[in-house]
Structure 1
């Protein structure tokens, strides 16, 4: 929706809290606050704990700006722009756990200083590279003695339950979160934790007891439940104890990345040392052949070799890989190396994140979010065209669709006689891919881009292209 005569665009994912809403004006991210929210923010901004969180980068940069004409809000804030917005179902286990720990750290600091968070959603966290940052400044409000943390249920459904699912059962949480924008319900998880599994850490209290309490109070109003808790002596100290307990639980949860075919792909993919060196030189030259990229996408990033290379020449790199374990391993290495320009995401390029939530636009699709200056499609075209039966014209259209006009595509075409292409074709009907040929790919790419450079790798079975997308 566009507000008449202002040029402001409402953020489709910001409508659930009527006291504040996020807008966009040009390159600015703005938040409007109603009268009560404005009073709460002024109090919050005067606290030492909030200034400390801002200075540490744990809360997104925020400052008040002059009121805008035609905007029905008492106060307007400007936030820093996050380099690339991602969704929790695109994160690895380690990313979701670190997001949960950041949320709990901020909540604990708030409670210590007379504030709380009205929400507990994983969507309130975004990333600067591999550093999580809390973005929902409108969630802070003064704590009312005797009232429970209103965001507890959201925290369980979008953060804790997905972590329990993967840590205790080894089940990837991403499909569960993608299927439901509000997360996993306690009653959905409860049947999976029966028998001895009932006693696994966090399950008795936060799954079974929580589900029982929800059923018990299903017909009671929120106010009635609050009155009962207040009468029973619920206090801020108990809320803090709950947060400390959740923090200890989340810190203990882990799911080390398991071995997979993709985990060792760089060793098994068949590149010679000469191929690898020539490929790296080509990619580096392509990244340097123009203005510094604001955003680069590395599709099929695997261990992040080329994402790291791109990070030396681009402001932000989004490294997309379908294997959650490979992404988690990459995330942990990037964190250890303090690499601040690479954001690793879990995503199957043959089934990328669609639009979701209310009217399908509350959470934007990957295609809508991606507007890259450079797209690296290295050793990925054959996996889509042969491995997933995606026609070559569609593959090229996909790459162009992720690239802004004037942007660059660095594509690798694996010839039909390459060992990896033959391996992918081995279980396919003979003659299924008659158009999977170098000259066909080059013609298709040339029809959508201006090919400015071409290189056959020394092995003779792979060709690299640099194309410029037309305006």
Structure 2
């Protein structure tokens, strides 16, 4: 089993970014703004959060996200934290983190306690539009390079290391960041499987980077992206869910999703050889190898083909500007007035299409989760929101069959309780993660009843 890392699951709306702005970690530690969630009394009890980690465990306490570091690991992660602070690595996309100095008044077996910024909503890789998975892959590769410059690396290579704050990917598995010298101590990577022709040429770091690449990057990042580039988004989404956090024994391979054309398969095999040659580089950062990965990701066109719903508002003559206008329809005016009067902090837009109402709500100050079953609509909304830096989290989801809770597989029950908690779900159901102050469900009832044949009782549930 690979170490899939930190997976926040008991997160409610309300991010620290809203509290502290874009300030540095030093500002966060020295101002009252970042202390609004720090309470002197600890009346609650720790709520464990699912994760797979040998270095520590994440829990929620009094509305705060904390990570307890196990004995004998405190010095290691204290040094990692200092390196991140000194070199402003949080700006590169690592979750904002600080050492907790105040006493928790709890009998907890930790050598060190860290506090993480709160991400408003949890989403999972099988729910991300294609361009979001691509952005997550780019961030992960970029962090290997950024950390390598400072003598650090990441000990696993999993999309579950990443959450999205609106359209921005954030690396949240802080305990996966370790010194380069510690990488050979990771038992699950040992011994690395090295291609015969390169055993004489690869150093230790290259061997372990390749092992992570082979076991995690290919099945969880590269193969899904290749499948999406081949317009197999539905198949990729289903397989990503089936292999969630290593609960399945079969993983997605490139041959499963590559085009059947011989040229495409030859090109993939040739590019894999080039990557292996790049790992002959003796420098610890393996910059050339990661440069090749970045180039490969950027060259993949993963956006789904346009659907009939992509021009939904234009076809109806309703693609209006977002300032109130006499040309707006009555529905648009009513929704605008309700949001203006109720002032919700968070809003869930079910059946968001390309997101006209999601964008309206975001421009009016809401943090928005936008759900749609249409791949091209969700991807288009992500592209718009990312370009305009809007607080919208667009996701692909069938509202008649939303993501359910997923529990650890039976073969995990033999693992130590500090690695996997069998009484805590691996995935939380969508209805638990996306609770918002206001919900928009516009023009979806007829799709559910007439299109899918659901009863009105089922729709209301």
TM-score (norm: length of structure 1): 0.71
Corresponding residue for residue 19 of structure 1: 55
Is the partner of 2:437 in helix, strand or coil?
strand
Report which stretch shifted further, 292-301 or 147-156. 147-156
| Counterparts of 1:79 and 1:87, CA distance in 2 | 19
- The correspondence for 2:436, drawn from 344, 347, 372, is 372
Deviation of the 1:205 alpha carbon: 5.5
- The correspondence for 2:329, drawn from 252, 277, 285, is 277
- What does 1:22-61 align with in structure 2 at a 5 Å threshold? 22-47=58-83, 51-54=87-90, 56=91, 58-61=93-96
Corresponding residue for residue 98 of structure 2: 63
CA gap 1:357/1:108 in 2 versus in 1, 3 angstroms = farther
| Counterparts of 2:252 and 2:118, CA distance in 1 | 37
Contact 1:146/1:235 (CA < 8 Å) preserved in 2?
A: no
Contact 2:65/2:115 (CA < 8 Å) preserved in 1?
A: yes
Deviation of the 1:195 alpha carbon: 5.6
| Counterparts of 1:262 and 1:154, CA distance in 2 | 35
Report which stretch shifted further, 26-35 or 44-53. 44-53
Give the alignment's Cα RMSD to 1 decimal.
3.2
- What does 1:85-234 align with in structure 2 at a 5 Å threshold? 85-144=122-181, 146-147=204-205, 148-149=208-209, 151-152=212-213, 153-168=215-230, 170-172=232-234, 173-182=236-245, 188-193=253-258, 196=262, 199=265, 201-204=267-270
Contact 2:95/2:171 (CA < 8 Å) preserved in 1?
A: yes
| Counterparts of 1:337 and 1:245, CA distance in 2 | 29
Deviation of the 1:192 alpha carbon: 4.8
Deviation of the 1:182 alpha carbon: 3.9
Q: Is residue 367 of structure 2 the alignment partner of residue 316 of structure 1?
A: yes
Corresponding residue for residue 412 of structure 2: none
Spell out, residue by residue over 1:4-40, the C-alpha distance to the aligned partner (whole angstroms, 9 max, x if none): 99600000x21x2121111011210111112343222
| Counterparts of 1:253 and 1:32, CA distance in 2 | 39
The count of aligned residue pairs is 370
Is the partner of 2:310 in helix, strand or coil?
helix
CA gap 1:130/1:192 in 2 versus in 1, 3 angstroms = closer
| Counterparts of 1:99 and 1:272, CA distance in 2 | 30
| Counterparts of 2:64 and 2:293, CA distance in 1 | 35
| Counterparts of 2:280 and 2:161, CA distance in 1 | 30
Deviation of the 1:242 alpha carbon: 2.1
Deviation of the 1:169 alpha carbon: 5.3
| Counterparts of 2:242 and 2:119, CA distance in 1 | 25
Report which stretch shifted further, 269-278 or 193-202. 269-278
Report which stretch shifted further, 98-107 or 152-161. 152-161
Spell out, residue by residue over 1:184-204, the C-alpha distance to the aligned partner (whole angstroms, 9 max, x if none): 956744255466155365455
Deviation of the 1:77 alpha carbon: 0.8
Deviation of the 1:50 alpha carbon: 6.5
Contact 1:49/1:110 (CA < 8 Å) preserved in 2?
A: no
Corresponding residue for residue 263 of structure 1: 310
CA gap 1:67/1:253 in 2 versus in 1, 3 angstroms = farther
Deviation of the 1:251 alpha carbon: 1.2
Deviation of the 1:324 alpha carbon: 1.2
Is the partner of 1:46 in helix, strand or coil?
helix
Spell out, residue by residue over 1:244-285, the C-alpha distance to the aligned partner (whole angstroms, 9 max, x if none): 221111111112331212112223458799895211121122
Is the partner of 2:164 in helix, strand or coil?
strand
Contact 2:140/2:157 (CA < 8 Å) preserved in 1?
A: yes
| Counterparts of 1:300 and 1:188, CA distance in 2 | 32
| Counterparts of 1:238 and 1:272, CA distance in 2 | 48
- What does 1:459-470 align with in structure 2 at a 5 Å threshold? none
Contact 2:353/2:378 (CA < 8 Å) preserved in 1?
A: yes
CA gap 1:182/1:293 in 2 versus in 1, 3 angstroms = same
Question: Which has the larger share of strand?
Answer: 1
Is the partner of 1:120 in helix, strand or coil?
coil
Q: Is residue 392 of structure 2 the alignment partner of residue 342 of structure 1?
A: yes
- The correspondence for 2:379, drawn from 328, 345, 369, is 328
| Counterparts of 2:140 and 2:319, CA distance in 1 | 45
Contact 1:126/1:132 (CA < 8 Å) preserved in 2?
A: yes
